[in-house]
Amino acid sequence: MTVHRLTRATRALAVTALLLPAAVACGGTDGADASAAPSPTTASAAPADGRDTNPPEESPGSSAPTATEGATPFDPESVPVSDAPLGDFPYFSIPEGFENSETPSPVVPRGRVPFWTGDGLEWVEGKIYRSSIQAQGGKEFSAPELRAAVASAVTGSGGVRLTDSRIPADVTESIPRDVRVEYVDGFGDIYNNPVSTYVIRRSDRLIWIHLCSDSAGAGWLVAETSD
């Protein structure tokens, strides 16, 4: 598997006038069709160490219990291995009551994208899915409802939440501009809102999930490492 570390003291890139409005929009034309994705897995897999992997929902911006508190850098061994049944990639569909109403985008067969761990960025190289999320059928968008649904699906499949926190501005700006543009739908508004990051550790790979929501919509990424 290929997971590369990007420290906080790395190069800072200026946020261009083109990129920032696009990121704030937390949506776009690059999402994936929810109807084409498999239904969320509901099987439960308890961690080997007995950790509660489905913590209660916190208010936006609060710090969630983490699997790697005090650990620098992130250690994949800190996440229990899950053998819970999963379908095909990206393994989780957009929760009921939400949708991606834009033109679907194909899964990137092999790409490279960073995930926030609460301590720094982990670059994940492999298959990547990204999508914007909106409320379905004129329903009012509820960020807490979406976060709770994603948390339930992911932790029910043996995933562990690494963080629910804001990415510092200098760390966000250290992400190369072309990456921020390419995955803007999946990143969501990471400039102004907290990010929830989950990891599912399989025997042969890591599956990463990123969710960033605001009062109007959200973006999410699913990526799995590959050799």
What DSSP designation does 23 have?
H
One-letter amino acid identity for 14? A
Q: At residue 62, what is the residue type?
A: S
In residues, how long is the chain?
227
Q: C-alpha angle 64/68/70, rounded to 5°?
A: 100
pLDDT value for 104: 66
**Residue 44 located in a structural domain:** no
Number of domains forming the structure of the chain: 1
Residue numbers in the chain where pLDDT is lower than 50: 1-71
Distance CA 162, CA 108 (A): 24
Residue 149 belongs to some domain of the structure: yes
Tell me if residue 195 falls in helix, strand or coil.
Answer: strand
Look at residue 175 and tell me if it is in a domain.
yes
**Which pLDDT score, from 0 to 100, does residue 103 have?**
65
* Residue 148 half-sphere exposure toward CB, CA atoms < 13 A: 10
Boundaries of domain holding 26: 3-36+60-70+82-225
Whether 138 maps to a domain, the answer reads yes
| End-to-end Cα separation, the chain, in angstroms | 4
Question: What pLDDT, in 10s, does the model give residues 108-155?
Answer: 999 999 999 999 999 999 999 999 999 998 889 999 999 999 999 999
Evaluate whether residue 77 is within a structural domain.
no
Contact 68, 118 (CB under 8 A): yes
Residue 47 lies in a domain: no
Q: Classify residue 8: in a domain, yes or no.
A: yes
The residues pairing with 91 across neighbouring beta strands, listed in sequence order, are: none
Quote the longest CA-to-CA distance of the chain.
47
Burial class (CB in 10 A: 0-12, 13-18, 19+), 58: middle
Grouping H, G, I as helix, E, B as strand and the rest as coil, residue 164 is strand
Domain assignment present for 76: no
CA–CA distance, 162 with 160 (Å, rounded to integer): 6
- Amino acid, single-letter form, for residue 107: V
pTM of full prediction above 0.75 = no
Residues 6+ apart with CB under 8 A from 33: 100, 104
